[in-house]
Amino acid sequence: MSDSETAEKVFKALKQAEHAAPQDALPMLNALAGLIQGSGEQPLEVEDARAGAFLAICEVGKALHRGQPADGLYATAIDATERWLRLAR
């Protein structure tokens, strides 16, 4: 799967998780971790965007795990993933 396809898949799953109940969203987000791992074969700015998306998604997951609100964190994660998607194309 290309980096662009991976970013698109992560973006769609993130949007789906945003609208799911927290107990359903957390497993969805945990499943993304394997997809987001980089190979180091992309330009540095793409790898940086991927890492930013990963960290932002982890913050959402931590908030959900702790039972904290994640609305603002979802927005940050979606923005970071969109940036990765733009650069990966």
Is the pLDDT at 36 greater than 70? The verdict is yes
Task: Please provide the size of the chain in residues.
Answer: 89
Spatial separation of the C-alpha atoms in residues 60 and 9, rounded to whole Å: 17
Q: Where are the domains of the chain?
A: 3-88
* Helices 22-36 and 3-18, axial angle in degrees (round to 10): 170
- The burial class, CB within 10 Å (0-12 / 13-18 / 19+), for 29 is buried
Whether the per-residue pLDDT at 51 is higher than 70: the answer is: yes
What angle, 0 to 180 degrees and rounded to 10, lies between the N-to-C axes of helices 44-66 and 3-18?
20
In whole numbers, what is the pLDDT of the chain averaged over residues? 93
Does the model's pTM come out above 0.85?
yes
The pLDDT of residue 38 is above 70: no
**Does position 40 have pLDDT exceeding 80, yes or no?**
no
